[in-house]
Amino acid sequence: MKIGFIGLGNMGGPMARNLAAAGHQVAGFDLAAPVIEGVTPAATAAEAAAGAEVIITMLPNGQILRAVAAEVIPAMAPGAVFCDCSTVDVDSARAVAEQAVAAGLGALDAPVSGGVGGAAAGTLTFMVGGSDAAFATVSPLFDIMGQKAVHCGESGAGQAAKICNNMILGVTMIATCEAFALADKLGLDRQKMFDVVSTSSGYSWSLNAYCPAPGVGPTSPADNDYKPGFAAELMLKDLRLSQQAAESADADTPMGQLATALYTAFVEDEDGRGRDFSAMLPRLSARGRGPGSA
């Protein structure tokens, strides 16, 4: 397949490389002009799009996606598919899809989970919104870049699934960390706490698979001095997107709102930037119940 790939950063670079390694013809564009094995550099985004059957974008946010889409869509061949894999707000995902469909193109929002490791190994999970036909066209590429692609519904459904999942993740990580901090102050051994909760009704992915307490449970960023993993500022980005969507849909999300406030304080006013999002545990452990404790 002839593919244009725009945004060759930590995620996009290895995804584009995997497509090229599988024998596809990939033209890539990124403002930072990185060299990616097997990918032919294009001078502009429009040049990467010209003649491609599928355009994939992997960009930092919705504003940049909208700007890139405005440049690329007019340059795309009729019937081609615009597939955005970035994590962006639902409104931008829908606006870009509408623009693509109005231009006679297919459109998918297909954000991923699995992080940089999953991108390199080709084991990402894709959550996809858009038409059946567009999904069928891009499916073989999802199979190369990932291990699973779920067609969630119409345009925006992929982004909706992603931010709902990550809102649960942010909230449960904080709940798990505050439970460890409380257990410490109650004199409960962390290993015993893990042994009980990991097989009781308080269990979750945050505790069982990504335990925020070092030396307890499977190896996680906590065992590597909280080096990411999944950085606190990326968690904050996704939580903010969940709250933007909740605002726009008039949904009551009090826990999501509080999780957003806590990660905002952690990343913007404290030492959270560049640390794993599970470093919420040492943050909470260091605090008491004084004013501003939430």
**Binding segment (CB under 6 A) for ligand NAD, from list 92-100, 112-120, 175-183, 252-260:** 112-120
CB neighbours of 67 closer than 8 A, spacing ≥ 6?
none
* 9, 113 Cβ separation under 8 angstroms: no
Q: State in angstroms the smallest separation of the CB of 277 from ligand NAD.
A: 11
Token pair of 36 as six digits: 């990616």
- Considering only residues 3, 4, 5, 11, which one is a binding residue for ligand NAD as defined by CB under 6 A? 11
- Considering only residues 112, 171, 174, 179, which one is a binding residue for ligand NAD as defined by CB under 6 A? 112
* 105, 79 Cβ separation under 8 angstroms: yes
Q: State in angstroms the smallest separation of the CB of 246 from ligand NAD.
A: 18
**Binding segment (CB under 6 A) for ligand NAD, from list 5-13, 134-142, 143-151, 164-172:** 5-13
| Catalytic machinery residues | 162
- Considering only residues 3, 4, 5, 12, which one is a binding residue for ligand NAD as defined by CB under 6 A? 12
Place of tokens 């605002």: 247
Sign (positive or negative) of CA dihedral 122, 123, 124, 127: positive
- Considering only residues 38, 115, 153, 202, which one is a binding residue for ligand NAD as defined by CB under 6 A? 115
Is the peptide bond preceding residue 79 cis, with omega within 30 degrees of 0?
Answer: no
**Binding segment (CB under 6 A) for ligand NAD, from list 25-33, 166-174, 178-186, 252-260:** 25-33
Nearer to ligand NAD, 116 or 258 (CB): 116
Cα separation, 8 vs 72, whole angstroms: 16
* 198, 217 Cβ separation under 8 angstroms: yes
Report the candidate in 50, 7, 67, 48 with the shortest Cα–Cα distance to residue 31.
7
| 108 part of the interface to ligand NAD, by CB under 6 A | no
Measured in degrees and rounded to the nearest 5, phi and psi for residue 54 equal -135, 135
**Binding segment (CB under 6 A) for ligand NAD, from list 6-14, 125-133, 135-143, 269-277:** 6-14
- Stretch 29-48: interaction string toward ligand NAD, x if CB under 6 A: xxxx------------x---
94: helix, strand or coil: helix
Query: Taking CB positions, which residue lies at the least distance from ligand NAD?
Result: 9
- Considering only residues 27, 39, 49, 59, which one is a binding residue for ligand NAD as defined by CB under 6 A? 59
Strand duo 124-130 + 106-109: pairing: antiparallel
Cα separation, 263 vs 272, whole angstroms: 8
CA distances (Å), origin 138, targets 106, 130, 192, 223: 10, 11, 47, 38
Q: State in angstroms the smallest separation of the CB of 61 from ligand NAD.
A: 6
- Considering only residues 4, 5, 6, 97, which one is a binding residue for ligand NAD as defined by CB under 6 A? 6
Residues in contact with ligand NAD, counted by CB under 6 A, come to a total of: 24
174: helix, strand or coil: helix
- Stretch 227-246: interaction string toward ligand NAD, x if CB under 6 A: -------x--x---------
Cα separation, 26 vs 38, whole angstroms: 8
- Residues in the site for ligand NAD, rule: CB under 6 A? 6-12, 29-32, 45, 58-60, 64, 68, 86-87, 112, 115-116, 234, 237
